[in-house]
Amino acid sequence: MSNDSKILVDVRNLKKHFVKSKDLLGRPSGVLKAVDGVSFQIRQGETFGLVGESGSGKSTVGRCLLRLYDYTAGEVRFDGQNISSLDEKQLKPFRRKIQSIFQDPYSSLNPGMNVLELIGEPMNIHGLYSGDERKEAVAALLERVGLKREHLYRYPHEFSGGQRQRISIARALSVRPDFVVCDEPISALDVSVQAQVVNMLEDLQAEFGLTYLFIAHDLSMVRHISDRIGVMYKGRLVEVADSDELYDNPLHPYTQALLSAIPVPDPHAVSERIVWTDAIAEGEAHELREVSPGHFVALP
């Protein structure tokens, strides 16, 4: 991926707040700021990793990009078009260009539909192929993700977790998207299968010219697949940098603490664990500033 590639996704001061409670008159009395002023860009052909602890807001960012959530404030531009205020009719062509792979492949697949129906449904919605042509297209996608034609008439419960996730990937690719939001796509899989799925995602990216937002908490896997990485804490981005730069030279205290938690595959190694506390967080800054080319950090 070249730095000269065009910007495909441009997120500007994105905010998503949820009402936690209301007073006796029905007015909001408590608000959860799940995403609170996030800005970043993803270039065409790039994989942008988004990491952070549970509850940091990273999955909410992904759902906002998919327009599964309406935003509280801010905007998202896709290929130069502001999609923030599009209605459902206007969103239909956009939804073909942006697809998703969710964390749990079983709950994201309709148990009452077979594989041909699951993968063929998006094609039908967007008017791609028909009849035998659609069946052949689905079979070709199945083979591309490592499954077989004989699986066409089987149901989700008849597959392993890794196979179900391959079906989800085939479904995401069925409408030939430009951008895929991968929301923790390997966290529910066995360790032995995770590397296979990530390697397949990389191969598919090269083959189809895909752009990824890769949301995960497995920091070692994120480094492997991502070109750049953003670190989220309490709904805000605290650091953004090239993958190797972030891991080799983390600047924000939260990033340093997060990376120190990565297990070391050596029983005799002594790891220096940094404990993140509220006392450290008190001096946090919110605005990202560039400290070196391509390395942005919110320092107090």
Looking up tokens 């309709």, which residue turns up? 110
Q: Determine how β-strand 236-242 pairs with β-strand 73-78.
A: unpaired
Q: Answer whether residue 281 shows pLDDT above 60.
A: no
What pLDDT score does 279 carry?
46
What pLDDT, in 10s, does the model give residues 22-46?
Answer: 777 777 777 889 999 999 999 999 9
CATH number of 7-105+179-297: 3.40.50.300
Reading the block at residue 38, the tokens are 């996030």
pLDDT at residue 123 above 70?
A: yes
Task: Say whether pTM exceeds 0.75.
Answer: yes
Does residue 247 register a pLDDT over 80? yes
Note the pLDDT of residue 268: 64
Per residue in 168-206, pLDDT tens?
999 999 999 999 999 999 887 888 888 899 999 999 999
Rounded CA-CA distance 27/47 in Å is: 41
Alpha carbon of 230 to those of 12, 16, 30, 56, 248: distances in Å?
14, 18, 28, 12, 14
CA distance 195 to 55: 25
CB neighbours of 62 closer than 8 A, spacing ≥ 6?
A: 50, 100, 181, 183, 213, 215
Average pLDDT over all residues of the chain: 88
Do residues 121 and 110 make contact, with C-beta atoms less than 8 angstroms apart?
no
Side-chain-side CA neighbours of 18 within 13 Å: the count stands at: 10
Say yes or no to pLDDT of 283 above 60: no
pLDDT at position 10 over 90: yes
